[in-house]
């Protein structure tokens, strides 16, 4: 099985009539995802790639039984879009939108407390359960079905790592891009536990980057709770201090959050730390062969 989504997940796309929403809806449908509804206020009754458009998430859920949302609305409206999906108790929301103010995300996080909804993102590529369901913008063709769980803060490195794994003959159980903002809906820690509990996942690849404490917190969870082989690559080893590198969360401040610090902490937790992004696929394959997790 996969984590978070299955082939039966029914998806509503918020912002489906926008350029990005329409384009990626088509790609999700081509992959086999059950996109059953779209939402754009004021455009109820329209269709996009055969998908009916509703004026609100509540009406979309009532009419189609959707149980997950992908959000493509502009940053200025993303806060309201997330709250609307949370209010109808959708189990999963994936927010692709970037540039959402941190204060809006803090308020969303507070609103989520005690509610049955899991938020992935924002500013993320989404997630894929290969051969079952794709939510977001990750290219479908790079995947193959298998036993490697992938967790990443970086969109581009997510694609690269997945492609390397597939080329090495290692399929994925689920691939999740959690996003690169300083405030996120879901962290490495909670998702690591889901992979640990997933019987299909045989090993985990974690892709981190400088800034914040996500990787250090993940190391603590891995050391205490994860028994499956775990690998990590940390981007940003050459980044200068006090300078943000790409993502809002990728900044080394006060001497903390460096790549070296994160790599050392992960290694101490028993994680196989990979030095080069180009070596992810082969390192995972050769290590699992040596440990007997894979058969030659």
**pLDDT, tens digit, for every residue of 162-209?**
999 999 999 999 999 999 898 999 999 999 999 999 999 999 999 999
pLDDT, tens digit (0-9, with 9 covering 90-100), for 235-288: 877 555 555 555 544 444 445 578 889 999 999 999 999 999 999 999 999 999
pLDDT at residue 294, as a whole number: 86
Whether the pLDDT of residue 122 is over 80: the answer is yes
Overall domain count for the chain: 2
pLDDT digits (tens, 9 = 90+) for 49-77: 999 999 999 999 999 999 999 999 999 99
pLDDT at 246: 54
pLDDT class of 157 with cuts at 50, 70, 90: very high
Question: Which domain CATH number covers 117?
Answer: 3.40.50.720
Residues 223 and 274 in one domain: yes
pTM over 0.85: yes
Residue 25 dihedral angles phi and psi, to the nearest 5°: -60, -45
In a domain, 244, yes or no: yes
Residues 152 and 294 in one domain: yes
With respect to residue 130, please indicate whether it lies within any of the assigned structural domains.
no
Specify the pLDDT at position 79.
Answer: 98
Answer whether residue 131 is part of any domain.
Answer: no
3-state percent helix, strand, coil for the chain, nearest multiple of 5? 35, 25, 40
Asked if 255 and 147 sit in the same domain, the reply is yes
Q: Residue 223: which pLDDT band, with cuts at 50, 70 and 90?
A: very high
Alpha-carbon gap, residue 65 to 124, rounded angstroms: 25
Question: Catalytic pick from 24, 49, 143, 247?
Answer: 247
Domain span holding position 30: 1-123
Residue 192 DSSP label: H
The answer to whether 225 is a known catalytic residue is no
- pLDDT tens digits along 5-30: 999 999 999 999 999 999 999 999 99
């Amino acid at each position: 099985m996969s984590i978070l989504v299955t082939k039966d997940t029914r998806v509503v796309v918020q912002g489906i009539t926008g350029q990005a929403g329409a384009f990626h809806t088509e790609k999700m449908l081509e992959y086999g995802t059950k996109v059953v509804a779209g939402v754009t206020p004021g455009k109820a009754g329209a269709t996009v790639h055969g998908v009916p458009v509703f004026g609100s998430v509540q009406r979309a859920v009532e009419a189609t039984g959707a149980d997950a949302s992908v959000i493509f609305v502009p940053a200025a409206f993303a806060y309201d879009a997330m709250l609307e999906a949370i209010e109808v108790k959708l189990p999963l929301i994936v927010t692709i939108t970037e540039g959402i103010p941190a204060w809006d995300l803090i308020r969303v996080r507070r609103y989520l407390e005690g509610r049955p909804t899991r938020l992935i993102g924002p500013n993320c590529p989404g997630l894929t359960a290969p051969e079952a369901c794709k939510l977001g913008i990750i290219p479908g063709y790079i995947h193959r079905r298998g036993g490697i769980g992938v967790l990443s803060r970086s969109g581009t490195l997510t694609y690269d790592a997945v492609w390397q794994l597939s080329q090495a003959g290692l399929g994925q159980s689920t691939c999740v891009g959690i996003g690169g903002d300083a405030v996120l809906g879901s962290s490495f820690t909670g998702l690591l536990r889901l992979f640990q509990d997933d019987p299909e996942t045989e090993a985990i690849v974690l892709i981190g980057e400088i800034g914040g404490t996500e990787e250090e917190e993940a190391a603590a969870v891995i050391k205490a709770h994860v028994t499956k082989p775990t690998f990590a690559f940390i981007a940003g080893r050459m980044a200068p201090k006090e300078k943000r590198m790409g993502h809002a969360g990728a900044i080394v401040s006060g001497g903390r959050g460096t790549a070296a610090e994160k790599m050392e902490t992960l290694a101490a937790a028993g994680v196989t730390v990979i030095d080069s992004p180009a070596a992810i696929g082969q390192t995972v394959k050769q290590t699992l062969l040596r440990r007997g997790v894979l058969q030659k």
